[in-house]
Structure 1
């Protein structure tokens, strides 16, 4: 079950964290993975690990907010790969702030990456999926799209947009054999979390990590591998009847508070 043999998957933001975990798992399940990241060296780290495990992958630098740049990357992939079966829109940035503490520059940057980035990559991928007769798009959303979180004004705005883009693409392309879903995690223990704690709470990292972990009713953060497992299911043929859905993976954060 859950084989991705003979499939090509494009994963954005796959140089670390959740994107890297998805790339590694998809490769283990037989997919050729196009590893996209803003930093080529980060993407290459993921590719090197995939190749060391016997998998197939290629690293490419990609700024998902750059429309022309994204088109060039996907054109290059199309030259090398006969199909584009899976797109995982994982690349994104976080932000902490209220409507009063969020600057115009903050808003523009979050829109450029979290919203326009999904648009750019989805447009490039779906054009190819329509031509080939089907495919899967999986977007990385957040519980911030479904509930009020303190100090997450602009970030929540972007994830609300991702949720609605997911539903819209699923509706528009269901007849063309394209499925589109999204995953909505709560806190996930990634290098971003460790960096945020080191920068914001120097000397208090362990205590603050525990506090953030306990904010989930289950009492801990998710691991990137757990998000990857759900991504694998939703992108596999076994999930062929699932489209237009948002899947929380939140340790009870939304419904058990």
Structure 2
């Protein structure tokens, strides 16, 4: 076993794909999940002995510290992926401002807590003092950080903040050989999206497919494994000079401009 990683929200969808990609043939991955049922697949997985379930809230500092400790106890901790997210929102004119700020925190807090746990470990705070080993963090953002969707104020705000966190920490901790990057996802096919599409009627399904073709120039939704490949690259030595970047993984969604005359 050559290295270990921590992935938050690693039980389903994109998170699970990242876990499976990082585990590879030799490495260890600690998976932070609130729902034990989301990790029921681990026991039958070929890498079961190298997948460490950590049940708890990713925004809880004690849970994050436990994940770092359990991973590092098996192999040197080299990377951390902040993937955990919650899709809840509210209109600012309807909900109290403090409630909306709480919703922003649901997606921002786990990232700040995860980054803190990872950086403390990479720097050896409270253990052995700073080292030259460094490490890498990848934060999972969204196309909404730059182009908000109506009705998703709290989510879009949190994702924009996550990209700001990514840049600021890259500047603060780059001198310690800690790299911090982000991936900004477009529409990715997961169990959640598959269930949504399956529930659509024929005409609604056609409209959904057409909108995806218009929004993402590659003409389709992305696959979780495609996200996992980019995350694995950013954590690897191949990306040793990539720091403070947000990489779109969106099929060109962030590049396209809808032409009003097209219709």
Per the alignment, residue 5 of structure 2 pairs with 9
Per the alignment, residue 178 of structure 1 pairs with 178
For 1:159-188, what per-residue CA distance to the aligned partner results, in whole angstroms no more than 9, with x for missing partners? Answer: 001000000111111111111100001110
Residues 83-122 of structure 1 mapped to structure 2, 5 A cutoff:
83-95=76-88, 97-101=90-94, 107-122=100-115
CA separation in 1, counterparts of 2:201 and 2:96? 25
1:63 CA drift (Å): 0.6
Structure 1 residues 23 and 69, CA, compared in 2 at 3 Å: closer, same or farther? Answer: closer
For 1:8-56, what per-residue CA distance to the aligned partner results, in whole angstroms no more than 9, with x for missing partners? Answer: 011111101001001111112532111221112322424642426xx72
CA separation in 2, counterparts of 1:164 and 1:255? 20
Residues 1-257 of structure 1 mapped to structure 2, 5 A cutoff:
6-28=2-24, 30-46=26-42, 48-51=44-47, 56-78=50-72, 80-95=73-88, 97-101=90-94, 107-131=100-124, 132=131, 133-197=133-197, 201=200, 206-207=205-206, 209-214=208-213, 215-257=215-257
> Greater shift after overlay, 238-247 or 25-34?
25-34
Structure 1 residues 118 and 226, CA, compared in 2 at 3 Å: closer, same or farther? Answer: same
Structure 1 residues 97 and 108, CA, compared in 2 at 3 Å: closer, same or farther? Answer: closer
The alignment's TM-score, normalised by the length of structure 1, stands at 0.86
CA separation in 1, counterparts of 2:75 and 2:229? 26
CA RMSD of aligned residues (A): 2.5
- Number of equivalenced pairs: 249
The alignment's TM-score, normalised by the length of structure 2, stands at 0.84
Runs of at least 5 residues in structure 2 that lack an aligned partner in the other structure: 125-130, 258-263
For 1:178-211, what per-residue CA distance to the aligned partner results, in whole angstroms no more than 9, with x for missing partners? Answer: 1110000111011121344567x57877446424
CA separation in 2, counterparts of 1:51 and 1:62? 22
Structure 1 residues 103 and 216, CA, compared in 2 at 3 Å: closer, same or farther? Answer: farther
